[in-house]
Amino acid sequence: MQMVKKILMTVLVVLLSIVIFAPKDRLFFLAEEKLEYNEVLISEEVVDNGLFGVDISNAHLSIKGVTMATIENIELSTLLLFSSVRLENVVLDDASKAMIPLSEFNLSLSHNLFAPKTLQLTLSYKEVEKEFQIEFLDEGMVRVEVEDINGTPWLKPLMQKDENGWSYEQSI
Amino acid sequence: MNRVFKSEFFNYAIYILGAMALVKLVWFIVAMLFLPSTTKELESKGDLKPLYYRLYLAKATADPIKIKPKTKKPMSTSTGATIRSLSLLGIYRSSDLIVVTVKKGSKTKVLSRGEEIAGFVLVNATRDQAFFEKNGKSYTLNFKKQKSTSSSKAMVRDVKKVSTTSKPKADVVESGGVKIVKRDMLEGYMKKPKDIWKDIGISEIKKGKEITGFRVRFVRKESGFEKLGIKRGDIILAINGERLDSYQGAFKAYKEINNIENLTLTIKRKNQEMELDYEIK
């Protein structure tokens, strides 16, 4: 029993060490490089290492060279099995407002390794809070599901209604 | 105290610290060898604009000096200078700037809007005409006909004036070879950007990784873009002399549309490069 305890303790310490000692800022730069292949760029940001992730402030998100949004704060954190991204005070550029007519909102994404192809997304603005589920399907399709779209009329033209609620599918 | 310093516990603590040190070392090596050390930044073109001088370019059909019907014949001034004594050498136009190079006698002068030469004050310019005022009268100065020389031929680009219909349309009317576009029409698109993509479809054209232009896939009938003379299959190469080599450039032009008075679209149609000129009022 003592031996099992020691092994579990060691595993826990190693896992925590992997997260805590990780060069998180450099891993973020690596992620930026991967995003750049898809012409998505985060620029002008200030990156600070945290204990379990990175804090990024004043980030400008651009797609294909066009600035789409300014994000006051991005909090990326991971415990290996569970990871989350929180975006606070996202201000969309005029170009993006044609798609999402929100002036300012918060977004949080969470992922766990037990459901590797699924992301939970929470969008909140003013007094509205919506929970979405993003599922990466086979054949390069992504499906976004939301139970109801009350209070978000701008979502209606984008989504289709089925028996489980509202959904949106897009190939990536 | 005895418990803390039990050799078994001490050994285990050393073991744990060793494991942590090992993890730290591995991360250090990985970071040094495989991870980038700098962030990516959006390359901004800033406000740099290429010079867009039109020097005797493609104005083979122009009369040496043409005066608008409304304007009176050039008159001698008190100093004896007439509009005929001036030669138009070059026009540079951007969204917020008009610069004209004029020659008087052996002297050359570069004028921006509001500046004068021999009493003639520069008020405006289009692709190939400069407009002056003097003593409350309007004068138009055109490029002089280009003498064909072997050296100059090389400079002349294949720029063809687009045939335009004289039929006036509410949002776009033609006057003096230049289409005058109602600002309201453009502001409508600014207010409802979704309408842009209902009225026109464009897709990038790439040469390798570089964008060389945007192909017009469709133009909706009776839309503002059709009135502007844009047709399906056109390749938009530049706006006001600035090459469209990125989406950033395209959106920059879109954002500035409210602040500009003149607009020149350089397009490629049926393998011929041509320019569409507009005045926005």
- Are residues A95 and A27 located together in one domain of the fold? yes
Inspect the interface and report whether the beta carbons of B20 and A32 lie closer than 8 Å. Answer: no
Question: Which A positions 28-67 lie with beta carbon below 8 A of chain B?
Answer: 28-30, 32-33, 36, 41-45, 47, 60, 62-67
B7 lies within 8 A of chain A by CB: no
Same structural domain, A35 and A85:
yes
Backbone angles phi, psi at B252, to 5 degrees: -65, -45
Chain B residues closer than 8 Å to A95 by CB: 193, 251, 254
Final residue of a domain: which of A67, A99, A131?
A99
- Within this chain, do residues A126 and A160 fall inside the same structural domain, yes or no? yes
Between CA B97 and CA B121, with CA B85 as vertex, the angle to 5 degrees is: 35
Site from B33, B209, B251, B257 to mutate, A interface, most A CB atoms within 10 angstroms:
B251
pLDDT of amino acid A86: 95
Supply the pLDDT for residue B40: 78
B28-47 pLDDT per residue, tens: 999 999 999 888 777 655 44
**Any CB–CB contact under 8 A between A3 and chain B?**
no
Shortest distance between the Cα of A43 and any Cα of chain B, in A, equals 5
B134-186 tens-digit pLDDT: 888 888 888 765 444 433 333 334 344 444 444 444 677 776 667 788 887 87
Q: How far apart are CA A28 and CA A26, in angstroms?
A: 5
CB atoms within 10 A of CB B168: 10
Q: Which residues of chain B fall short of a pLDDT of 70?
A: 1-5, 43-80, 94-96, 127, 144-170, 175-177
- In a domain? residue A42: yes
Domain total for chain A?
2
Q: Mark whether A91 and A142 lie in a shared domain.
A: no
* Alpha carbon distance B89, B56 (integer Å): 7
Which CATH number fits the domain B158-280, given the four candidates 2.30.42.10, 2.40.110.10, 3.40.47.10, 3.20.20.140? 2.30.42.10
> Do B20 and A13 count as a contact with CB atoms less than 8 A apart?
yes
Q: Touching check for A27 and chain B: CB below 8 Å?
A: yes
Q: What pLDDT score was predicted for residue A134?
A: 92
H-type helices in chain B, by residue range? 7-34, 150-155, 183-191, 193-199, 224-227, 247-256
A1 and A82 both lie in a single domain = yes
Q: In this complex, is the C-beta atom of B193 within 8 Å of any C-beta atom belonging to chain A?
A: yes
Domain residue extents for chain B: 1-40, 53-142, 158-280
Task: Indicate if A63 and A91 belong to the same structural domain.
Answer: yes
Shared domain for A3 and A69, answered yes or no, is yes
Does B15 lie at the interface with A, CB-CB under 8 angstroms?
yes
3-state SS string over B172-230? EEEECCEEEECHHHHHHHHHCHHHHHHHEEEEEEEECCEEEEEEEEEECCCCHHHHCCC
B178-181 and B272-280 strand pairing: parallel
| Residue A92 and residue A135 share a domain | no
CB of A79 within 8 A of CB of A19? Answer: yes
CB contact under 8 A, A17 and B36: no
Low-confidence spans in chain A with pLDDT less than 50: none
In whole angstroms, give the CA distance from residue B70 to residue B228: 26
CB contact under 8 Å between B246 and A67, yes or no, is: no
Instruction: Give the CATH fold of the B53-142 domain.
Output: SH3 type barrels. (2.30.30)
Residue A104: inside a domain, yes or no?
no
> Is A107 within the bounds of a domain?
no
Residues A80 and A7 in one domain: yes
User: In B, which residues are within 8 Å of A34 by CB distance?
Assistant: none
Residue A15 structural domain: 1-99
Asked if A133 contacts A145 with a C-beta cutoff of 8 angstroms, the reply is: yes
Do residue A120 and residue A153 come from a single domain? yes
DSSP state of B144: P
The phi, psi pair for B42, rounded to 5°, reads -70, 125
Sequence-distant (≥ 6) Cβ neighbours of residue A95 within 8 angstroms: A66, A67, A68, B193, B251, B254
Amino acid B278: pLDDT:
83
